[in-house]
A = this chain, B = another copy of it.
Amino acid sequence: MRNLITTIAALLTLAATAGAQDLFTAPEGNWVRTSMTQRQSEFPKINEKGEYWFRFQAPSTAQNVSVKFADGEFPAKKDAEGYWNVIATCPKPGYQLYYLIIDGVRYADPGSEVTYSNGWTSTIEVAAPDDTFYEMRDVPHGEVREHWFYSNVAQEWRRAYVYTPAEYETKHKKKYPVLYLQHGAGEIEEGWVHYGYAARIADNMIAAGEIEPMIIVMNNDFVYRPGDNRGRLALADNWSQNFADMFLGEAIPEIEKSYRVIPDAQHRAMAGLSLGGMLTNNVGLANSSMFAYYGIFSGGTVSNPENLDKKTVKYIFETCGELEYPERIAKDCETLNNMGFKASYYVSPGTAHEFQTWRRSLHEFLPLIFR
């Protein structure tokens, strides 16, 4: 009986599909593969107007199919060959995440670059009016190194991504200041490199003489002690303290042992986006004799300014997207200034809680530190 009903249902679905006259037809224009289209795929494509054409398979049984961005969902239409298509007009500038939604379930698009951001998600890089500051330029390039060390706190080998400036390989005696830069709750330690473009931003600014050469160290935010529960967003219950123990007690000493760094507070900075900004607050500013410079990007405001080490702290920088909470960070910087701290803020025009905000925040932050 069940098989019979299934068969009838399938036949009726087929009839409904065959009766449809609204097939997608290929649009006019000059469509080329995007910078994120994977090697073996022809789609997504982009045209001269900056429109994106997504084309993909869906299960034979699929009925409602769409492409979903952070700020918009586009229904997909089948073409004569059975592929589903979306023309998406004007996605927001910068690094945009998207999914295929197939009858209520989200999938990564097999055609485009896939990355980890709160699960596996597809990406496109949309042209931005200010995208020159993170473009790949013909300047000396530093390296990003995968550096492994053992953590007794987490009882595991951990990987840090370490950016060393181009001159690090030739100036064998020179020692460098270090920025410790944390990712957000959705990402891993490579996030700042592979879509925050931290290395490119630093390379371009060093080459232009806008900042001093520095080392940038990116650790993973997530530290579990054996037996820890994973709560919301996979955070351990005691996530701040776990991170503090690993970061202050293990990661920083490891970096200072392994690289030519100036190992004092005036040559240490800490910054992070979102969860990384909260760690900068909960771990960095809570140990303010350790770091002179702080950046909180879309990560709230300073929790306990009255406890800060006035002798050590040189600059606090707060940022967020225009669509987040500009008033909060403006007010917090005013409070900090009134307490005698150097503090300022930056609001990224037209953006929300997204990487374009954080690329711009890093670009604004770097010239303020180690000066």
Contacts and interface: CB of A to CB of B under 8 A. Distances in A.
B148 A146 contact: no
Interface stretch (A73-81, A85-93, A101-109, A359-367): A101-109
B61 A62 contact: yes
B144 A63 contact: no
Contacts of A5: 12-13, 15-16, 19
A258 B169 contact: yes
Interface residues of A, number: 60
A13 to B, nearest CB: 4
A59 to B, nearest CB: 3
Contacts of A20: 2
Contacts of A230: 39
A136 interface: yes
Nearest to A5: B16
Nearest to A1: B19
B40 A234 contact: yes
Interface in A204-246: 222, 230, 233-234
Contacts of A106: 110
Nearest to A115: B114
Contacts of A39: 222, 230, 234
A38 B2 contact: no
Given A6-B63, A38-B120, A136-B148, 15 more contacts: A2-B20, A5-B13, A8-B12, A9-B9, A9-B16, A39-B230, A40-B118, A59-B104, A61-B103, A62-B103, A106-B110, A141-B147, A143-B146, A143-B147, A145-B145
11 contacts: A38-B120, A39-B230, A40-B119, A41-B119, A59-B59, A61-B62, A61-B103, A107-B107, A110-B120, A144-B145, A145-B145
Interface of A: 1-3, 5-6, 8-10, 12-13, 15-16, 19-20, 38-41, 57-63, 102-108, 110, 114, 116, 118-120, 136, 138, 141, 143-150, 157, 162, 169, 172, 193, 199, 222, 230, 233-234, 258
